[in-house]
Amino acid sequence: MPTKIAAGNWKMNGTQAEMPQAHLIAEAAAAWAGVTLLCPPATLLARMSVETSGPALKLGGQACHRAPRGAHTGDISAPMLAGAGATYCLAGHSERRTDHGETDADVAAQIEAIWAAGMTAILCIGETLDQREAGRTLDVLRDQLDGSLPPRATAGNTVVAYEPIWAIGTGKVASPAQVAEVHDVLRADLTDRIDGGAEISLLYGGSVKAGNAAELFALSNVDGALVGGASLTAEDFVPIVEALAES
């Protein structure tokens, strides 16, 4: 069975002064052992690892550079994130692709770096609204997998998150039928593409909330969610974690 993961991506939210809120989310979510992964900003990672992490709560980075060290002002490397307590790291989030011009080749190199640092990569893929309306969704996703998923991927080192770009932070969640169609195709594709592909965790991301989580988790190839806005308070996030644990 693929591992169930409710991942909270805090993006660029969370200062040291907001640590009490971070603790609250971490502690509440950790009640569901093993299911919760939090990806705080890198500046909070080490503190959260020391103060709130335990076997029940996993921590992840949001992005990393492809190199382990060097002259890359403002960047952060995979070994730095791992050393600060991360065991997962996102790669290829659409906000990174847009804000920083990251390409599929960059993402593939970052995933190699994440693996080299001993972490699990969460590869994010997704189509724009124009691509969906042009009927190109499945081709776009296949191209992203071709370009950004290195051949050494296994269910042990990789998670794939389907995040339609038009659903991220917009309040427009993809319908269960849209999610099911894509996840079934991704499962078949990953099973063909890599050893153990049937076991890779497939997450859905894009405006997941307490009110829509249970119907998404009921779909056969949805193993969890990557949650942005609704992971910023315990009140919003905990019901999502609970819905996954009970699915």
Q: Which of 2, 9, 86, 160 binds ligand PGA (CB under 6 A)?
A: 9
Residues 35, 56: Cα–Cα separation, whole Å: 7
Rounded to the nearest whole angstrom, what is the least distance from the CB of residue 93 to ligand PGA in the complex?
6
Q: Which stretch binds ligand PGA (CB under 6 A): 25-33, 109-117, 190-198, 206-214?
A: 206-214
Handedness of CA 5, 10, 11, 15 (dihedral sign): negative
Rounded to the nearest whole angstrom, what is the least distance from the CB of residue 155 to ligand PGA in the complex?
21
Verify binding: residue 92, ligand PGA, rule CB under 6 A.
Answer: no
Task: Residue count of the chain, please give it.
Answer: 247
Rounded to the nearest whole angstrom, what is the least distance from the CB of residue 216 to ligand PGA in the complex?
12
Verify binding: residue 228, ligand PGA, rule CB under 6 A.
Answer: yes
Please indicate whether residue 23 is annotated as part of the active site: no
Q: Which of 60, 92, 164, 205 binds ligand PGA (CB under 6 A)?
A: 205
Residues 214, 240: Cα–Cα separation, whole Å: 8
Of the residues 95, 102, 163, 242, only one is catalytic, namely 163
Please indicate whether residue 215 is annotated as part of the active site: no
Which residue in this structure is represented by tokens 């569901």? 32
208 token code pair: 């997941």
Verify binding: residue 126, ligand PGA, rule CB under 6 A.
Answer: no
C-beta of residue 233 within 8 angstroms of C-beta of residue 25: yes
Verify binding: residue 221, ligand PGA, rule CB under 6 A.
Answer: no
What letters, b where the CB count within 10 A reaches 16 and e where it falls short, cover 39-75?
A: bbebebbbbbbeebbeebbbbbbbbbbbeeeeeeeee
Verify binding: residue 243, ligand PGA, rule CB under 6 A.
Answer: no
- Please list the active-site residues: 93, 163
Residues binding ligand PGA (CB under 6 A): 9, 163, 168-169, 205-208, 226-230
